[in-house]
Structure formats: structure tokens, C-alpha cells
Homo-oligomer: A and B are copies of this chain.
């Protein structure tokens, strides 16, 4: 496996060429010219390697080896081929490249597997071109609905449906059912956080994907003249919001990992230097691996913010507009991954994922697991995305071991 480092970087550079931005970075949106070129090129690569290859109706690309013993059982690996605007060289495509190299290596080393072994280059995950995410995986598990995308368009006004058909794809047939042969899904992905880097680990074995709740919180006070309104006459929405944000952060830190809370967005009205602000809006994103914890923290924060609003004499409206449950990975598959890390002497860590991934779409239907490799400085969705070649190789080794165990052993 010595030349793995080189092979991985070569394939990443090759795939990153499709949608390469002149200023660096990769922009490869669903059903774009660059996207179609990437899928067709991966198809060619698979064909050259003697894989059995096919596209599904919407443009997910599958390729791999037929099993010799259990042809009604398929072990699937892979990730998404689309990127965010001006994204990096690793998010998504590393999982595809790793799958290709792992299956190629297994074939060359051990020949045909007992179970079918496939790599998937999924059509879409990021939701970057159209306001819809996980189009690829949701079509594989047959939860994507035609009516959800029939009336959406990209920023240039191009309809989802037109873009899809221009690439030669179309909706999944209504009658299509979830493939019964899908027995396992393993996704290799960059961490998009800095836990592995900070703890100096090369591989993360993911046991669960966090649930998340998102809120819009509106604070209504009274706009007043900044000079003529004494402090005790004020109903200052920004002052109240600042007390609330500090409170959310203090409570979150007190709870400790894996709880995280983020106030990412603030809007103030009238947002003028010399007017006491009468209105402040802020968003809150909270995540945890346990649903009960999410519910409990939501209740605690809601009660506390209401108390602050009452004490400060401002109005408060809390709107929860996203509520996604945590998704545990499959215990048995996670154990296989961890066992392989141990056997191969990899420097690994059991951890959760704080970001959403295709594996969470698979997990309710197909026993799934994820493997992470470090993201330098936690950076993703950015041309500066980077993972050490050594760590990229360690991730592929974990994947190879896992796929061998799942597809080649009885």
C-alpha cells in the first residue's frame, strides 16, 4: 500500500479538475456541465478497472464488483460528487476517490468478493445550487419526493427539472422501491472540524451524527433617540439580545460536550449608530448526539430567554424552524470499523459527527457507519481545505479493512 499517498492525491487532483475555479477551489454544482463531466469521467475510470457500472435515474453513479456467493447482498461505499461554491478538494470527493482505490486494491489483492462491493458517486448533498440537500442519497433510499423539487430553481432561474433533464436524467419512477440488496453503507469523509487535528488522531470512527435544532429569535424593544433617552427609559433590543446570547453561551458551556450552540446571524433595526435599537433578531443553532438532551436544553434556554425578556421589558418570539433528530450509526458496522483500526494499528478515535452527511439519510434504512480524517484547522467549504496525505491514506486503510471484513468474509 506504499503508493496509496500518491494515488489518492493524483485522483483528488484529477477529479478536482472538473469545476476548478480560476482563483483556486472547486465549484461543481448538481447537473452542471462540470458535474456531468466529473460523473462521466468516474464512469470511464470504473469501466477501465473492469467494474460493473450503472447510473440510476437521477444521476447517482454506481460501480463495483459482483459477489461470488451472496449476490443479493451489497456493501456500498462512497460519498457525494457535488461541492459548495468555491469549495475544496476533499469534501465529498475524497469519499469517492477512497472507495475507488479501496475496491481496486481489494480486487487486485483478493480477487472477487463474496458479496457485491460497490462504490457510489452520489449526485448531490450540499444544497448549493438548488434549495434542496441530499438529493443523491434521498433518491437511493427512495425518500426524495418529486413535488419537493418540481418548482425550485437556481439563482439564475434555471429550473431544477430542466437542469436534470439537460444532463440526461429524470425523476425516479414512482414505483421504485428501496434496493433490497443494500446491506451496509460506509462513508469516508473529512471531519470538517478540528477535533482530530487537536487530538492528533488520523482517523475518526463515527458512532453518531448530531441532531440539530435551529431557531429564529426576535427581540422587540422600542426605538429611541440615542441622546435624549435616559438609560432607565429604554427598551433596548440589542442590550436584551446581548444578555440573551451571553446566557445561551454560558449555559451551553456549562452543559459541556457534545452540546454546541451557535448564534451565527444578527439583524438589528434600524441599525443606525445614534438610535436605540427597537428590534434585534438572532439565530440559534444547537446540536447534540442525544435527542433528550436537545429537548431538555431547548426547554432550559427557552425558559431562560423568556425570563430575561420579562426582566428587561422587551418582547420575545422564539421560532424553531428546524428539528432534525440525532442519527446513531449501526453498532455492528461501527464495531467492524473500530476493530479494523485496531488490527491495522491506526491512530483512531471514536467520535460523533457535528455536521450532516449522506450516512444519516442511509442509516434509518441501511446499517451505516462513517470514517473521518482530519481537516486542517477545521476548515471546509473553502479552497483552503486540507488533509495531510498520510492521514488520507490512513482513512483509506481503515476503509479497505472494513470493506474486506464486510464483503470478503463470511
Contacts and interface: CB of A to CB of B under 8 A. Distances in A.
Interface of A: 191-195, 198, 210, 212, 214, 224-233, 236, 238-239, 241-246, 249, 252-253, 256-266, 268, 270-277, 280, 283, 285, 287, 353-356, 375, 378, 380
B266 A265 contact: no
Contacts of A252: 231
Contacts of A268: 264-266
The 8 closest A-B pairs by CB, nearest first: A193-B228, A227-B354, A242-B245, A226-B262, A228-B354, A242-B242, A273-B283, A227-B355
Contact of A241 (B232, B242, B258): B242
B283 A229 contact: no
Contact of A264 (B193, B260, B272, B354): B272
A210 B225 CA distance: 13
A69 to B, nearest CB: 39
A225 B192 CA distance: 7
Nearest to A354: B227
20 contacts: A194-B228, A194-B233, A195-B230, A225-B354, A227-B355, A231-B257, A232-B253, A233-B378, A236-B249, A238-B245, A238-B263, A242-B243, A242-B263, A262-B273, A264-B271, A264-B273, A264-B275, A265-B272, A266-B268, A273-B285
B243 A246 contact: yes
A238 B268 CA distance: 13
A353 B378 CA distance: 52
A195 to B, nearest CB: 7
Of A193, A224, A228, most buried by chain B (CB within 10 Å of CB) is A228
B264 A226 contact: yes
Contact of A265 (B193, B257, B271, B285): B271
Contact of A378 (B228, B232, B236, B258): B228
